[in-house]
Structure 1
Amino acid sequence: MFGTQCSWMASCRFRAANLLLTGIIPGPKETNPDETQFYLRVIVNELLRLWRHGVDVVTPQHPHGRRMRVILVGVFCDKPAAHKVGGFASHSHNYFCMQDWIPQSLKATVAAFTRSAFPTRTDSQHREYMSQYQQCGTKAARDEFAKKYATRWSELARLPYFDMCRMIVVDPMHNLFLGLVKTHFYHIWVQLKIFRKNHELRRLHDVLKNLHLPPKLGRLPHLIGPLVIPTLWDACEPDPDGTRLRERRARIDALLQAQKEKKAAQKSNVDATTASSTGARQKGAKGKPSRKKNTDSSRLSSAPRRSSRSQRKSEKGKELVLDSDDEGAREVSEDEVWPSEVEDNTLPSAG
């Protein structure tokens, strides 16, 4: 027990030692995609130096130092950050995917789940579009280009070894916290009756009922449901010609159509009830004198009165002098702090 606890503490210290904060983007508002690249440029400058020149690290086996080089193997973040950092258009763009050119109108179709149904985004193509984006001289031209080609400039393109389309990943942690797993599991598989009540759902509940967890967990996690799905796969019967798949899809389409018709009927009934009640009120109010108030005079009379006299500072207020936020600051050149290989006077470029 003691050895296990010590190894756990050592692993915690090891993980904590590898957490390095490289920078914080100031507020108060979130930077747009082009502004974000200026902050990312500082990190890319260091990554280029660590890859091209490396750093000498002294170790017990190498007292004179050993040359080490560093590369960026991946960027793991949520989807909005992945689009902003990687030079992709917004995740609400018509071409929202970072892997292929599927439009928004087809993301809920069967083709969206079919391999190679749409042209694939490639690193070379993405870099070419980013280079063309850099040639746009005005903000309006850049916005128009991004709207058409779903691409903006990214400082990561300066890393020659980095694949823009394969090395930027939406990590599982954000998928869980953003509710994507819950959406697919409950709203699609359960509510759309893809899981049948007396088949998949019953077996799923049997698995959860007989599941024994370690005492340290305390209770059954509420996200355990999707983790049981692989146990249901072995009960799936083979469907080589896709007959059962087409039948199930037809039933789902009929269910969705029935739900739409029910909502439309409910809306028409509400509209008819509202129209009849409105007509009854208008008929009852016919012939009665108008009691409309003078809203302008009442609003003016209820407005708070303001004095035209200027306020005088008290003796205590006169003695209170606030120091400047830049008191004692010293102007430092950019090259002195972050020496760069390329000037940063213009929009970040691929050169």
Structure 2
Amino acid sequence: FSIHLDFFNPHGVTQRGAHDSIGVISCANLALDPSIRYLPEYVFVAGIIPGPNEPSVDELDHFARPVIEQFAQAWRPGLHLSSTADPKSEESGAVVEAGILLSVNDLPAARKIAGLQGPMSGLICSICRMRGKNLIFNTDRSQWTRRDVEKLRHWANAYRNANTLAERKAIFDDHGVRWSSLWLLEYWDPTRMLVIDAMHCILEGIVHYHCRYVLRLFAAAPQLSADGFKHAYDHPWIPYDAEMAPSGCKLEEKHVPLVAKIQEALSHIIRTGTPETLAHVQHVIRETITPSWLNSVPKNYGEAKAGSIKADEWRTLSTVYLPIALITFWGDDDGSAPPEDNSEPGYLLKALDHTMALFQATSITCRYTMTTSRVLAVRDYLESWVKDLRTLFPHTRGVWRPNIHAAGHIYDFLLLLYGPVISWWCFPFERLIGALQKINTN
């Protein structure tokens, strides 16, 4: 089975700000054929966590424990069925073993149900030992050492058996783990079974971040100034020269390279979020003829009236409409390719190449079949996007998105463990939540 935990607003998604929150614990039988696995009648709603507020992380485990205990018993000794549809089992029955193969959630919920530190804590990853948010952009996989599961289990039990809250806090701060009922499962391994969900991490995570905050493709962005951020840094920076520096303004030798880097970062701000760019994107959305099976996206994308873009809409935007729009707008200079220099068209071409690396990774990740070459391509495209992000877009420096590192681990789940994400992402469970939201509660 796969197990999913999430909280939702019972009054619908139109209410913003503080709102009531109800939780749902649901499971899907991975042994069923994929064609029926996620149909509503086959999804097991294991528990409802009443609102109006979300429980604390320790309280949450009390809701999850009864569900997990059933799976612990179903694994050892298993469930004895007195009879089945098989005529051979009429006399002796059959023993059925069931277990939790994976837990699929967004990053915050995953850390809560597994009893791990949050994604913005010291231990930024549930899979490897990366410590410190400054390593979010580290793409050197040789440093991504997998966490020791036996040590995690040891400290989780130590947390449960601690005599004081101070002891528990010390264990959690030092080792990044608290007790979770998932440790009742003798086979539980959060480094392999607590998956990184592609829907939340890729589509609602870094694709949303890239379009809205990196490229600034939304209507409010150009309102900052006529040319976006350009005028704030439009200055002819002069390289530092100790002989030319006025008295009292000389820098220490160790600071000279740092000043040069700051000047370089401020010398080019790529004007991506212009009204013309957004208008062209909207034009492409309106005029592009697509198959009937392709879900629509808001024609006024980027405007406040378009509302919140959903995960499936981000998938369509990043794999269909935005590639067409940006290639024709930034990659076409009167029928020829823009110059590969430091001119404004040249920088827009660099932004296009950088953006397409992410969009290609997204397109391959969402495919229904997976091969080794495709998985390696996803890894390479994501690494390319991460490496160039802060160089091309200096305004992203100092912004720490745990999804950026987590996305790199999707490679592990695609290639080594579970195959195409369609068989283990959150879309089916989100549809269940949508159905629950529509239930009349008056």
Sort the TM-score into its range (normalised by shorter chain): 0.5 to 0.7
Contact 1:157 1:164 in 2 (8 A): no
Equivalent residue number for residue 300 of structure 1? none
1:138-176, Cα deviation, whole Å (9 max, x unpaired): 122212321222111111112112212210124233346
State the 1:17 CA deviation. 1.9
Match of 2:123 among 90, 95, 107: 95
How far the C-alpha of 1:248 sits from its partner, in A, is 8.7
Residue matched to 2:197: 171
* Cα separation, 2, equivalents of 1:41 and 1:121: 24
* Cα separation, 2, equivalents of 1:143 and 1:33: 13
Which residue is equivalent to 2:162?
A: 136
Q: Is the 8 A contact 2:155 2:171 kept in 1?
A: no
Q: Which residue of 1 aligns with 2:319?
A: 227
In the TM superposition, what whole-angstrom CA distance separates every residue of 1:193-220 from its partner, at most 9, and x where no partner exists?
59999xxx9xx99997996422354744
Matched, 1:46 2:138: no
Q: Describe the SS at the equivalent of 1:53.
A: coil
2:182 is the counterpart of 1:156: yes
* Percent sequence identity over aligned pairs: 24
Secondary structure in 1 matching 2:95: strand
Specify the SS of the correspondent of 1:129: helix
> Which amino acid in the other structure matches residue 101 of structure 1?
R
1:106 aligns with 2:156: no
Shift of 1:83: 0.7
* Residue aligned with 1:36, SS: helix
The one of 200, 204, 214 equivalent to 2:291 is 214
Q: Secondary structure at the match of 1:44?
A: helix
Match for residue 30 of structure 1 among 48, 54, 76 = 54
Q: How does 1:299-314 map to 2 (within 5 A)?
A: none
More strand by share: 2
Count of matched residue positions in the alignment of Structure 1 and Structure 2: 236
Give the SS at the match of 1:96. coil
TM-superposed CA distance for 1:186, in Å, is 4.3
For the 8 Å contact 1:188–1:194, the answer to whether it is kept is no
CA shift at 1:36, angstroms?
2.0
Give the root-mean-square deviation of aligned CA atoms. Answer: 4.4
Task: Give 1:123 shift.
Answer: 1.8
Give the C-alpha shift of residue 25 in structure 1: 2.5
- Alpha-carbon shift at residue 75 of structure 1 (Å): 0.8
Q: Is the 8 A contact 1:41 1:155 kept in 2?
A: yes
Q: Secondary structure at the match of 1:24?
A: strand
Q: TM-score normalized by structure 2?
A: 0.44
Whose radius of gyration is greater, 1 or 2?
Answer: 1
Structure 1 gaps of 5+ residues are 1-10, 240-244, 258-351
Gap regions ≥5 residues in structure 2: 1-34, 218-268, 299-312, 325-355, 361-379, 381-385, 398-442
Cα deviation for residue 134 of structure 1 reads 2.6
Counterpart residue type for residue 214 of structure 2: I
Report the counterpart of residue 148 of structure 2 in structure 1: 122
Q: Secondary structure at the match of 1:102?
A: coil
8 A contact 2:159–2:168 mirrored in 1 = yes
Q: Shift of the alpha carbon at 1:86?
A: 0.6
Shift of 1:226: 2.4
Offset at residue 137 of structure 1 (A):
1.0
Report the secondary structure of 2:44's partner residue: coil
Q: Does 1:78 align with 2:102?
A: no
Deviation at 1:180, TM superposition (A): 3.8
Return the match for 1:66 from 71, 94, 99.
94
Q: Residue deviations 1:73-104, cap 9 Å, x none?
A: 11111212111111102233222321223234
Residue 162 of structure 2 aligns to which amino acid in structure 1? C
2:39 is paired with a residue whose SS is helix
Deviations 1:244-297 (A, max 9, x none): x999965545x779xxxxxxxxxxxxxxxxxxxxxxxxxxxxxxxxxxxxxxxx
Contact 2:37–2:43 (CA under 8 A) maintained in structure 1: no
CA contact (8 A) 1:126 1:164 kept: no
